[in-house]
Amino acid sequence: MKHFSIGSIVHKAIKHLVVVACGIYCALITAAIASEAERPNVLLIITDDQSIDTIHALGNDAIHTPNIDRLAETGMAFTHVFNQGSWSGAVCAPSRQMINTGRNLHLTGFSPKSNKTSHPLMGETFRKSGYETFVTGKWHVGDDALKRSFDIGRAVHEGGMAPISKGGQWQPWLTDFGEKIKWKKEQKNQHTSEAFADAAIDYIKGKEARNDKPFLMYVAFTAPHDPRQSPQSYVDKYPAESISLPPNFRPMPEIDSGDYNIRDEALMTFPRTEQQTKEFIGEYYAMVEHMDHQIGRILDTLDASPYAKNTYIIFTSDHGLAVGKHGLAGKQSVYDHSIRAPFIMVGKGIPQNARAKGMFYLNSIFATTAELAGIEVPDSVQGPSVLPIINGEKDVMNDYIYGSYRHFQRMARSHRYKLVYYPLLKKNVLFDLKNDPWEMTDISTQPGSDKIIEQLTAELDLLKVEVGDPLTNDDPANSYQPFTGKIRASFQKDAIGQPQVLNVH
């Protein structure tokens, strides 16, 4: 099912205007954003594993994020933006594949068996439309897509994370290419957040002397993904005794969905302790604030450049993270803390200090940025532009949202209710998000809930078709091939609260 905004239909009907004598390519921007002879630049900032509740301006008084706050105060922040889920324990890979293809979870062309796609990529599309494309930071979408998408790469982290065994955050292996550099990979003695910020700053400072093309900058931090390493001065700001536990902190998960021995969950012991969880959150906040400072350096450089008034900024993350909520540490769930991501847009024509619900997926970034740039959106793109919300034409993009994790969990949520279905357990869980935003009370057995479950189950069936989900409820593990991947052991608590192997699927 493909969605079209009014703006995107109009743009597909209008040809680009080329003024040959001046060599200037003019593009028609959506009606609510002023037309300009000079095409706008785009700065996309993507963080890694950043929960929706880690931004001071959006409600967390315990964290210091003055530069992300600055974006929220000068632009529009969306509160309900979703990653569709993952067919992999490495949730960030499918998320970035959706962002860069604009397609739905199971339809990107990528899978555990394929690290290539034939679909047009966002950077590739901008590049073919006359933009200079630049990347720094985490990629995790494969070498073929990297080379198709970007003219220049500096301090590119090609993999999924920066493990301690390969230098961690302080000594990462980073790749440079393009602009007289063929392909150079080396280990750097610099924190990843600082290295990526330096690369972005150098790009902005050197751009005017190189050419007058508009640019697409793809700046992707590995923070605050573990290993949670940041300067001690930042760690000292968040001692465990200053940290409050979230209301939905639990020592153990309430439901064993089948994948709780994954690497992310092994970062903390079972059962979770209050002290350990507070330390975990403190290290997480420290890494977010250190990254926020680097984002501020990039914004300051942009503000002082010739591009300040003609650059759209999108700030987001690939998904959220549990960090102790519901007895979980990672992002392999469909709870809001893991499937929602922060999302802020700044630029000409975008309301300032505004808030909107959104109800859209991260794969809308492709169409949104293309429409802002006056670039025709490829027919392959499924995530619609969200400019109708910015322009006041819509309040939200969707009334129902899909979510999943491998063959273990499925989700359909409306504005008020969230249904979580566990295919291997044949179990429904229902949350009333209006009265229970922390998702702590299952109301599936309460009177009247059967009709809500029936409605959301029907919506889930429709959403599964839309995103290409191959899972069938009668045989979830086998039907989910080739997306199943390695199937891990399940865990449950023993008599003294320690995890034990429940079964192996």
Cα gap 160→142, rounded to integer Å: 10
Q: Which amino acid is at 12?
A: K
What was the pLDDT predicted at 15?
32
What was the pLDDT predicted at 493?
43
Residue 195 belongs to some domain of the structure: yes
Nearest-10 crossing angle of helices 364-373, 6-13: 50
> Residue 280 carries which DSSP code?
H
Residue 237 belongs to some domain of the structure: yes
What was the pLDDT predicted at 471?
95
Residue 150 belongs to some domain of the structure: yes
Is the N-terminal amide bond of 66 cis, ω within 30° of 0? Answer: no
Residue 1 belongs to some domain of the structure: no
Co-location of 339 and 373 in the same domain? yes
CATH code for the domain in which residue 386 is found: 3.40.720.10
> Which pLDDT tens digit goes with each residue over 320-371?
999 999 999 999 999 999 999 999 999 999 999 999 999 999 999 999 999 9
Give Rg (Cα) of the chain: 22
Cα gap 62→285, rounded to integer Å: 9
SS (H, E, C) 134-167: EEEEECCCCHHHHHHHCCEEEEEECCCCCCHHHC
Tell me if 145 sits within 8 A of 210, measured CB to CB.
Answer: no
Residue 201 belongs to some domain of the structure: yes
Co-location of 314 and 422 in the same domain? no
Structural domain that includes position 389: 6-399
Assigned token pair, 249: 């902190």
Tell me if 313 sits within 8 A of 303, measured CB to CB.
Answer: no
Co-location of 191 and 238 in the same domain? yes
- All residue ranges of the chain with pLDDT < 50 are 1-37, 487-505
Residue 311 belongs to some domain of the structure: yes
Co-location of 204 and 261 in the same domain? yes
Picking from 364, 399, 434, the residue at the C-terminal end of a domain is 399
Cα gap 383→3, rounded to integer Å: 7
Residue 454 belongs to some domain of the structure: yes
Picking from 399, 428, 463, the residue at the C-terminal end of a domain is 399
Residues written for the chain: 505
Co-location of 394 and 411 in the same domain? no
CB-based contacts of 452: which residues, under 8 Å, 6+ apart? Answer: 417, 419, 430
Query: How many other C-beta atoms can be found within 10 angstroms of the C-beta atom of residue 295?
Result: 26
Number of domains in the chain: 2
Co-location of 352 and 409 in the same domain? no
Picking from 399, 430, 453, the residue at the C-terminal end of a domain is 399
Residue 361 bridge partners (DSSP): 82
Residue 410 belongs to some domain of the structure: yes
> Which pLDDT tens digit goes with each residue over 449-498?
999 999 999 999 999 999 999 999 999 988 887 676 554 444 444 444 44
What was the pLDDT predicted at 394?
96
Co-location of 117 and 243 in the same domain? yes
What was the pLDDT predicted at 485?
57
CATH code for the domain in which residue 462 is found: 3.30.1120.10
Determine the Cα angle at 137 with ends 214 and 221, to 5°: 105
Co-location of 364 and 431 in the same domain? no
Co-location of 370 and 454 in the same domain? no
CB-based contacts of 114: which residues, under 8 Å, 6+ apart? Answer: none
Co-location of 462 and 366 in the same domain? no
Co-location of 347 and 460 in the same domain? no
What was the pLDDT predicted at 484?
65
Tell me if 342 sits within 8 A of 54, measured CB to CB.
Answer: yes
Co-location of 367 and 431 in the same domain? no
